[in-house]
Amino acid sequence: MSFSRNITALAFVILSALTLWANHPWLSRVYEYRPAPGQFINTLPVSRVGEPVDSVLARCHRSICGHVDTVSVTFHGEVITRVDTVWAESMISLGGYGGYVIVGFDHPVVNMHTYDFEIQGNAFVSDRETRGGSSEPGIVMVGVDMNGNGVPDDGDAWYELAGSEYSHPKTQHDYTITYYRPDENKPRTPSHVDPYLNDTTYIRWTSNDVDPDSISGYMSRNTAHNQPYWPLWLQDEESLTFTGSKLRCNAVDLGGNDGNSYFVQYFFDWGYVDNLPNNPNFISEEGSVYNPGFKIDWAVDEQGRHVNLTHIDFIKIYNAMNQYCGWTGETSTEVAAGIDFHPDAVLPDIIVGDVDGDAEVSISDVNALISYILAGVVTTVADVNQDGEVNISDVNKLIDLILQ
């Protein structure tokens, strides 16, 4: 083999290696999956009674995370392995209100102050009404790995991405719902109105809804989905409780005079998973209708104040609707895939004293630092004076930095 051909082959190997080790643009990790009951639970993904949680997470991973396929090729006599395709297999259902999944990439998502990432669902446009169709909005929370242990836990900071409905007067923040595990052997109570419902008192729930007519109810079972709606790997739990923000109902029954229901779930403007179609080529009379993705710049804290984040490490998606649409069942957010639009973006330099990760050094960092001290957590961002400990001396150093 000639010298020039050797150099060419070597260059190809180097480029292939760089491709293999570059940040993976698709979701690559599922940290937690805790769905609410629903008609697609135990089928998206399939699960079994008593199945270990790790096994359920592995099925979620196969369903929504990108897979890096490799192919071996021969180039000038050299066998080289390179990336071939990246794809996701299916989708998962989050069930009724509050059901959630926590996912991530193999790298932090850097805030580029534009659309930073996308989480896909299976929303589609109605053939009767282009302003709606199947829209089952899920709220996105973003997490920062404050303690640097690589997993989402109590030591991390979480922020909601405030979508178009965040400040709507009918959005209820601090909403809580509890579902109660059903007796699968109890007699069914079919509807006398809707023949597609075969148990209208299947799973009882209670909530703190501001509407007194919606503080309790039942999730019905329909004839199209007869499997248990309660997560089979959570059979030992008598109840499931979820807390978050609840969006207003978006469904209208446009059924005709024949008495048949035809529910249309109207799209919200922006900022939710499974709310708008993934396809950017769909154009309605009102213009383009699709989900362009999410901006980290939409992040707000628990008081609704904007926070400046340099990056995020985790993403949580939860169903933000407690809504029932007749024979079509509960509104349930589905998650199909996710992509980082800028996977190889470089993280900005760490700002000494920026304990809460908002790219500023302010009094909020003092509060975050005190929380670390009280929790006994030692982490790089909290060790302001870089002496290997997290204590009152770090508070003094931080205050000096703020007063500079």
Residue 36 is given by DSSP the state P
- What is the enclosing helix (H) or strand (E) of 4? helix 3-21
Q: For the chain, what are the domain ranges?
A: 25-65+86-340, 363-403
Residue 90 contacts residue 67 (beta carbons within 8 Å): no
- What is the enclosing helix (H) or strand (E) of 17? helix 3-21
Residue 158: per-residue pLDDT: 93
Helix (H/G/I), strand (E/B), else coil: 296: helix
Residues 6+ apart with CB under 8 A from 255: 261, 262
Residue 334: per-residue pLDDT: 98
- CA angle at 201 for the pair 199 and 207, rounded to the nearest 5°: 140
Residue 70 contacts residue 83 (beta carbons within 8 Å): yes
Report d(CA 284, CA 133) in Å as an integer: 12
317 closest CA partner among 290, 343, 336, 330: 336
Residue 56 is given by DSSP the state H
Residue 9: per-residue pLDDT: 43
Residue 373: per-residue pLDDT: 87
Residue 283: per-residue pLDDT: 59
Task: Say if residue 174 is exposed, middle or buried (CB neighbours under 10 Å; 0-12, 13-18, 19+).
Answer: exposed
Q: pTM for the full model?
A: 0.84
Report d(CA 324, CA 44) in Å as an integer: 19
Residue 352: per-residue pLDDT: 84
Helix (H/G/I), strand (E/B), else coil: 153: coil
Report d(CA 111, CA 308) in Å as an integer: 9
Residue 374: per-residue pLDDT: 87
> Most distant CA pair in the chain: distance in Å?
83
Residue 369 contacts residue 377 (beta carbons within 8 Å): no
**Which single residue is written with the structure tokens 């180039």?**
75
Report d(CA 221, CA 196) in Å as an integer: 9
**Which single residue is written with the structure tokens 């996308």?**
118
Report d(CA 120, CA 194) in Å as an integer: 32
Alpha helices in 200-322 (DSSP H): none
pLDDT-flagged residues of the chain (< 50): 1-21
